[in-house]
Structure formats: C-alpha cells, structure tokens
C-alpha cells in the first residue's frame, strides 16, 4: 500500500550492508572536510617546532646518508653505477610514501574512534585525507630528490631521465592506491582483532627489504636467482624500478611487471574499499 | 503534518564481554551460518536487556523493536534510566552505528550533537577549529564563512579567536563548540546531554537557542537528558525507554508521570555486581529512613573494599529528586576521616533531612582521597520516598516549580 502523503525520505538507515555502495556522493559533499583535514595534519605537524617544515627533509637526508655508508660503502651492494645518495633517495622517497600511507591507514579506525563514535561523516574521507596529507610530504621530498638529480647531472654523473618519466603520474597513483588498499584491509580487521597491528609495526620495515629500495632488481636476480620471484612479484618493486628508470635512466623495466603491479594494486584497492565499507558501519561497537 | 523521522522495528544488539581469542571461532560460526542462510546462532531473539539480571547469552539487546514517528518541527525528549537505550538510539539515528534489524527513515539533513567540540584539534586556533568542526558536522566551507561572525559572536570568545584552543578555559572551549553546532543548517538536530557542561548562564543561552531553532525555525529537535526539568521546559513530546523498549510515547507531562511510577524503582539496598578490584570500590550500600516530617534521619551504611594508597578517604552523597536534579550534597564533617587499616571498611553515615517535599529521591555515593580524585562513584544506586508534606495539615500538592525544600514558617 502506498500512502498518499508518503514523503520522499532523504536518508534510510538499515542493517543491510551494500558492499559496493561507496556513497561517493556523500564523499563529494564532504570534500571541504577532506581539505580541512589535510590542512590540519600539515599545520599540526610543525606547530611548536623551530624548524617547521624543514623536518620533512631531515628524515630522508639522514636515512640516505646512513644507507650510503652501510649498504654502498660498507657492504658494497651495487647501485647500477648511480651515485649512492641518488639511488637510495629514489627508493626512500617512494617507500616512505607507501609505508606512511599503509601504516597510518591501518590504524585509521583506532586513531579516530573518538571522533567517529560521535559524528557521522563518510568514513572514506579519513583514509583519503591520510593519502593526501602524505602526498604533501612526498612532494617536498620529491623536490629534494630532483634537486639532487640536477646537481649530480651537472657534476657529470651518468644519470639522465628517460621517456619512462611520463609514467610518473601512474606510478604515484599505483603506490598511493597500494598503500591505501592494504591499509584499509588491515584497518578493518584490527577493529576487532588487534593482532595485525603488531604485524604491521615490524612487518612493514621488513617488507622494505623485499622491495628494491637498497639494491637494484638486476643484482637480486643475479645473486638469488632462486628466490628473486619474491622480490619481483612484490608489486612495489616494479613501481620503484620504473621510477628509477624514468628519473635516473637505470633500472629493470618490463611492461609485464608493470602491468602485473597495476592489476595487483587494483585488486587490493577494490578489496580494501569493500572491506572498509563493510566494517565502517558497526566498527564503533567492537573497537 | 509531515513526518520527519520514521522508525520501524528498530533493534540493536551488542556483544558483551571481551573480544579475544574466543571471538574468532564465534565469528567463523556466524559466517558459516550466514552462508547457509541460517539465523545468527548468537543472536537469541526474545531476550530482554535487563542489566540487573544475568542473561543466558553474550548478546544483549540494547534496543528492541522500536516503532515511532516524529513530526516535523517537534521537539521530542528521550528519557529513561541509565542503560535504557537512549544513547544507542541516538547513535543509530546519527548514523554512528548501524542497527541490527529494522530501519530509520529521515527526511532532510540530520546533524547530531552527541558531544560538544568533537574533532577539535588542540593545536589549531579557534578560527581554524570553527571551520574544521563545522565541516565535520557536515557544513560546507562557504556556509561556515557566511555564519562565521555570528558563530564567534554567539560564543563570546572573539578576543581569543586566533589562539590555539588548548589555551582556552574549558568554559570557552564549550562555548565555541556549541556555537558552531548552533548554526548548523540541518532540518533535524539530535542532542545528547551536552548541555550539562558550561556555566548556568551559557546553558540557558543554549537552551534558548535550541528552543528558537525548534519553535522559531520549525526544526525538529531530539533531546536526550536525565534531567526531567529541562525535558519539561523544552520538549512538548517525549519518548520513555526502559530496557530498550518504548514504555510511553506522547505528551511530556504524561510520559514523566509514567517514568516516575513505573521506571523509578525504589531500593534501599545495593550490592556491587562487578568483579573485585584492588582499587578501593564501593561494594554494598544500605539505607534506612527514620523520623517523620519535617525532619528525617537518613542512615547510610557503606561497605568499601580495596587497598588504599592514602591513609584516609572522604565519602560524599548526592541526593537527587525524581526529576533528575541534584538538590543537595552531603559530605560528613572532615574529622574523623574514613580510616582504612585493613582492606574493608564499613562506614556509617547519618544525614539529617529537613523540609523535603514529597517525592522519590535517589542517592549517589562517592569516595575519594581528595575532592578532585575519585576512587569510586556509584550513581543513583539507592533511593527513598517521602510521602507527606513537611507542613503539617497541608493538603494541596507541592510543585517543583516552587522549590524542593520547605522552610519552617509560622504566623506570630
């Protein structure tokens, strides 16, 4: 029976879970919140510090120096004739962005439980704001990397960008999507089972060693031909190698590996979004 | 009249106890049942949420089959004891959590104010927080900009608007936060007992603003409170919840009558049901009332258990009338303190009550070593009733509007 004065309802709250209803219209309505959250993260990062945004540089610079001393000078791991600092910087900039997105997203429910327990807003906004806030940091570090590239280039080092640099926007998208997707999957599980947070805290730094951050893929294949699949099929590897190929002209690039990375990333992102979407509705009852 | 909210068969179940190693096997069992299209084996339909009784399963129904409608422009109070399901209902309405079954249909934008200052960042200035908080509550940036001056004006913290809010006094913080919410342009506003904070003058201002919203602007307001006085002042209609079920729904005056008669249980004895802790905790309280109007003697025996880090502790009693207003507080004279030499202490307190009007009164018990350090605070655990007027021979009834205590008065 349809009543004559049946009003059109704007919001319906039910128990049903539409895994694929992402409420993107809602997300769009809250876009100002997204911008403000990114701003909040950026501003609160350097409030009450003397050096302010300079801190964005300090961490990668010191890491590069350390890696150069240990892995290049001490352990003599090849950097494919690229000057050590430049080689490591390329890896670190990308890896930092990936691991920041992943670790911050994986605790998004836990960190924002107080807020999410009191107000409704599309929950997807939070992980998106994490990816965007870290993008600022990534951009700053990328500028540092490009400066280094210029200096080394004019000093006569054998590094020069290639046409693969045009793939950079895709690489950025892939690495962000990968961090976001994995992070969302973990965040959803940790609302009920905290075990995974421990895995993340020691697992992500370890994962770096199966990615070509401190060594080139070619060396890994040459030295560990039996286990190099582990490194090859890590979706971050193809992204790092392509990045180095584009900016430095050195690296292992194949369209196969690149496409593989793309497909894995898409699947992970989709799975992450669906799981996140399922959990966001009631996570506040269990967290 | 158009409907603003329509709630149908709304239920919400919670899982009790800890989530730990046992939970994953339960989850797998539920997942398996769902795959085969069966009912959730852990949701036992028909069990009622009564926290005083031990249930059979780990699932408790915080809301059970609620059905009601709210018309546009009404201000509706939601009342009930602690644990009646009020907060759960608000959470479901404000989409913080999903119901287990049933549905809620809403016409128009809904904004909820379950807490004042949600999402305020201590490092950011008042100005930045107005924008951030407004956006969290669902406002667009342009909208906040348009109302910015009004918000600042209403909050009265103009001078500090560019200071980080961590330097604000708690009063200023609350003022600013409420001001943002007060200028939300939503058709429906859901408010929890946030008004319990802030000074009396500001509370009045908030209530005034809420009244203006509902009466002047035709907005629908849902208001949850323990305090019957503010419900009575502010809401024409009310819904009474008890154990997750609607007991009464209608005119506020009538609903409050039902609340007082049916829900307000008198009990002169209370025993703690929580597990023993090492920290000092109130375990058992017994109350007895002797004497007759106008002077009663209230005798309260309190048993406290636990190891004490300090040599002594205070005990305090709040006495609340049936409207939810605390009308007096008794702190026995400071010497002798409660002295703890073992792990158990029994304290015997005598309170002289003078001139109380007929009503049901609830007593809360507090213990602590210092006025800003609490060991244990048990709210509304015991109660007593006064039947006759303090004035001998008075036959016409007393009314809250004229105060709670009758002084001695005589003609000379």
Q: Do B118 and A118 touch (CB under 8 A)?
A: yes
pLDDT at A262: 94
pLDDT at B17: 58
Q: Do A14 and B138 touch (CB under 8 A)?
A: no
Q: Kindly tell me if the per-residue pLDDT of A240 is higher than 60.
A: yes
Structure tokens at B83: 């644990």
Q: Do B95 and A13 touch (CB under 8 A)?
A: yes
In degrees and rounded to multiples of 5, residue B324 shows phi and psi of: 90, 5
ipTM value of the model? 0.81
Q: Do B106 and A12 touch (CB under 8 A)?
A: yes
**Residues B365/B378, Cβ–Cβ less than 8 Å:** yes
**Residues A188/A107, Cβ–Cβ less than 8 Å:** no
Contacts of A232 (CB under 8 A, 6+ apart): A217, A221, A257
Q: Do B6 and A9 touch (CB under 8 A)?
A: yes
Task: Compare A269 and B4 and report the one with higher pLDDT.
Answer: A269
Q: List CB contacts (< 8 A) between B123 and chain A.
A: 43-44, 47-48
Q: How far apart are CA A147 and CA A40, in angstroms?
A: 28
Nearest to B107 among A9, A118, A192 (CB): A9
Nearest to A119 among B14, B100, B136 (CB): B136
Percent of chain A with pLDDT over 90: 36
Q: List CB contacts (< 8 A) between B40 and chain A.
A: none
pLDDT at A168: 92
Q: Do B132 and A15 touch (CB under 8 A)?
A: no
Q: Do B121 and A119 touch (CB under 8 A)?
A: no
**Which SS3 state, helix, strand or coil, does residue B370 take?**
strand
Nearest to B104 among A13, A47, A286 (CB): A13
Q: How far apart are CA A224 and CA B11, in angstroms?
A: 59
Mean pLDDT for A243-267 is 90
**Residues B129/B174, Cβ–Cβ less than 8 Å:** no
Task: Say if residue B336 is preceded by a cis peptide, omega within 30 of 0.
Answer: yes
Nearest to A36 among B98, B101, B135 (CB): B135
pLDDT at A4: 43
Positions of chain B with pLDDT lower than 50, given as ranges: 45-47, 51-52, 54
What are the extents of the domains in chain B?
3-108+187-263, 269-386
Shortest CA distance from B191: residue in chain A: A118
Task: Compare A267 and A56 and report the one with higher pLDDT.
Answer: A267
**Which SS3 state, helix, strand or coil, does residue B35 take?**
helix
Which sign, positive or negative, has the C-alpha torsion A225, A227, A229, A234?
negative
> Chain B contact for A282, CB < 8 A?
yes
Q: Kindly tell me if the per-residue pLDDT of A16 is higher than 70.
A: no
> Chain B contact for A47, CB < 8 A?
yes
Mean pLDDT rounded to a whole number for chain A: 86
Query: pLDDT for A41-52, tens place per residue?
Result: 888 877 777 777
Q: List CB contacts (< 8 A) between A126 and chain B.
A: none
Mean pLDDT for A236-262 is 90
Task: Compare B260 and A109 and report the one with higher pLDDT.
Answer: A109
Maximum distance among all Cα pairs of chain A, rounded to whole angstroms: 82
pLDDT at A3: 46
On whether the B269-386 domain is CATH 3.40.50.300, my answer is: no
Task: Say if residue A229 is preceded by a cis peptide, omega within 30 of 0.
Answer: no
Q: Do A43 and B123 touch (CB under 8 A)?
A: yes
Structure tokens at B89: 């209902």
Q: Do B97 and A284 touch (CB under 8 A)?
A: yes
**Which SS3 state, helix, strand or coil, does residue B90 take?**
helix
Q: Do B23 and A192 touch (CB under 8 A)?
A: yes
Count Cβ–Cβ pairs < 8 Å, chain A vs chain B: 119
Q: Kindly tell me if the per-residue pLDDT of A151 is higher than 50.
A: yes
Domain B3-108+187-263, CATH homologous superfamily name and number: P-loop containing nucleotide triphosphate hydrolases (3.40.50.300)
Structure tokens at B131: 């924008």
Mean pLDDT for A86-101 is 92
Structure tokens at B155: 């909050």
pTM tops 0.80, yes or no: no
pLDDT at B189: 85
Pairing of strands B188-191, B220-224: parallel
pLDDT at A1: 37
Shortest CA distance from A118: residue in chain B: B114
pLDDT at B398: 82
Q: List CB contacts (< 8 A) between A275 and chain B.
A: none
């Amino acid at each position: 029976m349809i009543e004559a004065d049946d009003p059109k309802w704007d919001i319906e709250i039910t128990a049903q879970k539409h895994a694929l209803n992402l409420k993107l219209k809602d997300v769009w309505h809250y876009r100002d919140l997204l911008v403000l959250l990114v701003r909040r993260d950026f501003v609160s990062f350097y409030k009450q510090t003397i050096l302010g945004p300079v801190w964005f540089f300090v961490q990668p610079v010191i890491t590069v120096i350390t890696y150069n001393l240990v892995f290049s000078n001490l352990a003599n791991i090849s950097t494919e004739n690229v000057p050590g600092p430049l080689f490591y910087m390329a890896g670190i900039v990308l890896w930092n962005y990936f691991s920041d997105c992943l670790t911050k997203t994986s605790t998004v429910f836990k960190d924002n439980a107080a807020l999410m327990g009191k107000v409704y807003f599309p929950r997807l906004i939070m992980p998106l704001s994490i990816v965007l806030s870290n993008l600022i940091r990534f951009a700053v570090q990328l500028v540092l990397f490009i400066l280094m590239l210029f200096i080394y280039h004019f000093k006569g080092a054998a590094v020069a960008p290639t046409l693969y640099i045009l793939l950079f926007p895709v690489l950025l998208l892939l690495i962000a999507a990968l961090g976001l997707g994995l992070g969302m999957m973990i965040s959803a599980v940790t609302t009920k089972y905290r075990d995974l947070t421990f895995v993340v805290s020691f697992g992500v730094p370890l994962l770096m060693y199966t990615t070509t951050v401190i060594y080139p893929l070619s060396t890994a294949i040459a030295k560990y031909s039996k286990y190099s699949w582990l490194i090859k099929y890590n979706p971050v590897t193809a992204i790092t190698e392509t990045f180095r190929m584009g900016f430095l002209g050195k690296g292992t690039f194949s369209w196969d590996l690149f496409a593989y990375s793309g497909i894995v990333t898409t699947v992970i992102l989709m799975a992450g979004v669906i799981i996140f979407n399922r959990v966001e509705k009631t996570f506040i009852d269990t967290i | 009249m158009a409907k603003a909210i329509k709630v149908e068969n709304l239920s919400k179940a919670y899982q009790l106890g800890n989530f730990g190693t046992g939970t994953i096997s339960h989850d797998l069992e539920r997942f398996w049942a769902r795959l085969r299209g069966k009912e959730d084996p852990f949701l036992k339909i028909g069990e009622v949420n009564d926290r005083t009784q031990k249930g059979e399963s780990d699932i408790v129904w915080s809301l059970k089959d609620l059905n009601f409608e709210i018309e546009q422009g009404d201000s509706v109070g939601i009342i009930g004891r602690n644990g009646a399901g009020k907060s759960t209902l608000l959470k479901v309405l404000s989409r913080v959590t999903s119901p287990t079954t049933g549905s809620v249909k809403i016409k128009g934008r809904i904004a909820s104010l379950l807490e004042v200052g949600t999402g305020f960042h201590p490092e950011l200035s008042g100005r930045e927080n107005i924008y951030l908080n407004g956006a969290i509550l669902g406002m667009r940036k342009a909208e906040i900009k348009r109302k910015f001056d009004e918000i600042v004006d209403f909050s009265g913290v103009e001078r500090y608007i560019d200071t980080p809010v961590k330097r604000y006094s708690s009063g200023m913080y609350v003022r600013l936060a409420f001001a943002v919410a007060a200028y939300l342009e939503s058709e429906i506003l859901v408010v929890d007992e946030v008004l319990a904070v802030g000074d009396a003058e500001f509370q009045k201002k908030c209530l005034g603003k809420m009244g203006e919203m509902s009466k002047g602007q035709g907005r629908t307001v849902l208001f949850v409170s323990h305090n019957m006085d503010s419900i009575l002042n502010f809401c024409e209609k009310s819904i009474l919840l008890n154990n997750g079920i609607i007991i009464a729904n209608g005119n506020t005056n009538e609903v409050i009558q039902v609340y007082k008669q049916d829900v307000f249980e008198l009990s002169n004895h209370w025993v703690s049901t929580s597990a023993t802790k090492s920290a000092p905790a109130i375990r058992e309280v017994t109350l007895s009332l002797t004497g007759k109007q106008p002077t009663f003697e209230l005798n309260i025996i309190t048993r406290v258990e636990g190891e004490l880090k300090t040599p002594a502790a205070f005990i305090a009693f709040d006495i609340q009338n049936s409207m939810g207003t605390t009308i007096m507080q008794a702190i026995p004279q400071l010497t002798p303190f409660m002295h703890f030499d073992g792990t158990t202490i029994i304290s015997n307190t005598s309170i002289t009550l003078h001139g109380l009007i007929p009503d049901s009164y609830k007593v809360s018990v507090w213990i602590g070593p210092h006025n800003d350090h609490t060991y244990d605070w048990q709210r509304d655990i015991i109660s007593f009733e006064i039947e006759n007027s303090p004035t001998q021979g008075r036959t016409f009834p007393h009314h809250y509007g004229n105060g709670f205590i009758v002084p001695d008065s005589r003609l000379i």
